[in-house]
Chains A and B, each alone.
With several copies, the nearest count.
Chain A
Amino acid sequence: MNKIQSSLSEAVSQIKDGATVMIGGFGGSGAPLELIHALIDTGAKDLTIVNNNAGNGDVGLAALIREARVSKLICSFPRSADPKAFSERYLAGKIELEIVPQGTLAERIRAGGAGIPAFYTPTSFGTEVAEGKPVEKFEGRSYVQERWLKADFSIIKAFKGDAMGNLIYRMAGRNFNPLMAMAAKHTIVQVNHVVELGALDPETIVTPGIFVNSVVEVSNPQQEEILNREGAYYPPLNAPLSNNEAGA
């Protein structure tokens, strides 16, 4: 069994127009920036994206949105230091937004991965976010019924991965990544380091390989915060669109 792929472009090549794609990360932390850029390069459009945020600046998810590839965004917090890409398209009515409370978003994704079609949460009861959703009382308290979230693809970032797809993460970069790995038909991971089978301690593996389809190494991943401070832009201005190779 070998889930390692040699290039980013190969890893994302199955993602087609109209796909639902979960993208890991919380802001820039744990965001699979190189995979997102490779997805931009494919030209795939009319995507439904699930992410906690709506991107920042002109790279990563913000660039995917700016390039008009996203028709719907499911997220909890579409604000950032520089949310221009999303804000412009949203206020122009060019992107649909489904606002989901952050914990409900996490639980809906987990439910998708765990085969739980619906669950009840106290979150959002009595607010406009709960409008139209079934409400039920348990032990005297009212709860809102929420439904699972599943995706065609998840693109996520981990720290180390092996050929079976076992993953560990780095600090708070973990966030939504292990959940999204569970909730997609096809999960694609960029890792800082591909390691030998057996190099990861079975006790400390966070995502068992059963949830992962493809692993691609990006040994020195870029960090959204740093790119944005530098005013980076993707795709690079004055450069032709080109396939992004692994490790580039």
Chain B
Amino acid sequence: MSEQLNSIKLSNAQIAWRAAQDIEDGEYVNLGIGFPEMVAKFQPEGREAIFHTENGLLGFGQAPKEGEEDWDLINAGKKAVTLKPGASFFHHADSFAMVRGGHLDVAILGAYQVAQNGDLANWSTGKGGIPAVGGAMDLVNGVKKVAVITDHITKKGHPKLVETCSMPLTGVGCVTRVYTSLAVIDIKDAQFVLREKLADISMDDLQSFTGAKLHIENDVTDLIVPQL
């Protein structure tokens, strides 16, 4: 089944594309470092989101050409970026006033685990090593809508959507939507509610890759994304 899954599941770019479709025109958005940064590439035509980065910049754009980086102009992932018209700089306390104060509309983050009550684990494997939290705990407690993009299962085949997180929490009851490599799932009343799934996977198979019960409220539509 796992091999079959690999042939049908969405690529990271496709997951990012799907998440980008839900960002409205004029929304203020923070993208977690790494994979979530990819969402910015897929803003739908005619909509303009404003991207915030924790290190003190609102309104940044694409990466500069190689060799044209200015290392004072970076994002939270410490990658060089560029400025769009209307951008602004501010210090870290003001930056997190935006985050904690509920001024950002959307945060899109990666996850180790998401529980059916919206708990998120994405900062520590809990196995020793070196912990590093960054701005994740501020984002999940401050941004109006916290969404997760993630593979549906781990590389070892374990579900990432679970009844209860076994890994150290980033935040409690904070996630409201999960975009996975197989489905789009809302979290509502401490339940996973399936909204979209790939046409090529059956309900039973999808449930089997999910660590908690998938509820169905209304229609489940096909999760359709372009080749990227």
Q: Decide if A177 is an interface residue (CB 8 Å cutoff).
A: yes
A-contact bits for B13-50, CB 8 A (1 contact / 0 none) = 00000000000011010000000000000000000101
Q: Give the interface size class of chain A.
A: 35 or more
Contact between chains at A103 and B131 (CB < 8 Å): no
Contact between chains at A79 and B130 (CB < 8 Å): yes
Closest to B57 in A: A172
Contact between chains at A27 and B89 (CB < 8 Å): no
B-contact bits for A51-75, CB 8 A (1 contact / 0 none) = 0100000000000000000000000
Contact between chains at A127 and B169 (CB < 8 Å): yes
- Of the candidates B100, B101, B133, the one whose C-beta lies within 8 Å of that of A77 is B133
How many residues from B make CB contacts under 8 Å with A? Answer: 58
> Which A residues are in CB contact (< 8 Å) with B97?
110, 113-115, 182
A30 in contact with B138 given A126-B172, A172-B57 (CB within 8 Å) = no
Contact between chains at A177 and B88 (CB < 8 Å): no
Closest to B99 in A: A103
Contact between chains at A102 and B169 (CB < 8 Å): no
A-contact bits for B82-118, CB 8 A (1 contact / 0 none) = 0101111111111111111111100000000000000
Q: Decide if B180 is an interface residue (CB 8 Å cutoff).
A: no
Contact between chains at A106 and B96 (CB < 8 Å): yes
> Which A residues are in CB contact (< 8 Å) with B72?
29-30, 170-173
- Of the candidates B86, B91, B132, the one whose C-beta lies within 8 Å of that of A76 is B132
Q: Decide if B150 is an interface residue (CB 8 Å cutoff).
A: no
A103 in contact with B172 given A76-B133, A115-B101 (CB within 8 Å) = no
Distance in Å: Cβ of A27 to nearest Cβ of chain B: 4
Contact between chains at A126 and B55 (CB < 8 Å): no
Contact between chains at A99 and B78 (CB < 8 Å): no
Q: How far is the CA of A49 from the CA of B141 in the complex (A)?
A: 27
A101 in contact with B136 given A172-B56, A174-B56 (CB within 8 Å) = yes
- Of the candidates A1, A27, A99, A203, the one whose C-beta lies within 8 Å of that of B26 is A1
- Of the candidates A113, A116, A164, A169, the one whose C-beta lies within 8 Å of that of B86 is A164
Contact between chains at A210 and B91 (CB < 8 Å): no
A104 in contact with B138 given A77-B132, A127-B170 (CB within 8 Å) = yes
Closest to B69 in A: A225
Within 8 A of A (CB), among B134-171: 134-138, 141-142, 168-171
- Of the candidates A80, A179, A208, the one whose C-beta lies within 8 Å of that of B92 is A179
Q: How far is the CA of A105 from the CA of B55 in the complex (A)?
A: 12
Q: Decide if B186 is an interface residue (CB 8 Å cutoff).
A: no
Contact between chains at A197 and B91 (CB < 8 Å): no
Closest to A203 in B: B89
Contact between chains at B55 and A175 (CB < 8 Å): yes
Closest to A114 in B: B97
Contact between chains at A210 and B98 (CB < 8 Å): yes
Q: How far is the CA of A101 from the CA of B137 in the complex (A)?
A: 6
> Which B residues are in CB contact (< 8 Å) with A170?
72
Distance in Å: Cβ of A88 to nearest Cβ of chain B: 11
Q: How far is the CA of A115 from the CA of B100 in the complex (A)?
A: 5
Q: Decide if A140 is an interface residue (CB 8 Å cutoff).
A: no
Q: Decide if A28 is an interface residue (CB 8 Å cutoff).
A: yes
Distance in Å: Cβ of B75 to nearest Cβ of chain A: 8
A76 in contact with B141 given A115-B101, A166-B86, A210-B28 (CB within 8 Å) = no
Known: A115-B97, A174-B89, A174-B91. 9 other contacts (CB 8 A): A1-B25, A79-B132, A101-B137, A106-B93, A123-B141, A166-B88, A175-B56, A198-B86, A202-B59
**A positions within 8 Å CB-CB of B:** 1, 26-30, 52, 76-81, 83, 86-87, 90-91, 97, 99-107, 109-110, 112-116, 121-129, 162-164, 166, 169-179, 182, 197-198, 200, 202-203, 205-206, 208-211, 223-226
Please list 6 pairs of residues, one from A and one from B, whose beta carbons are closer than 8 Å in the complex, sorted by A's number: A28-B78, A99-B133, A103-B92, A110-B97, A113-B97, A124-B141
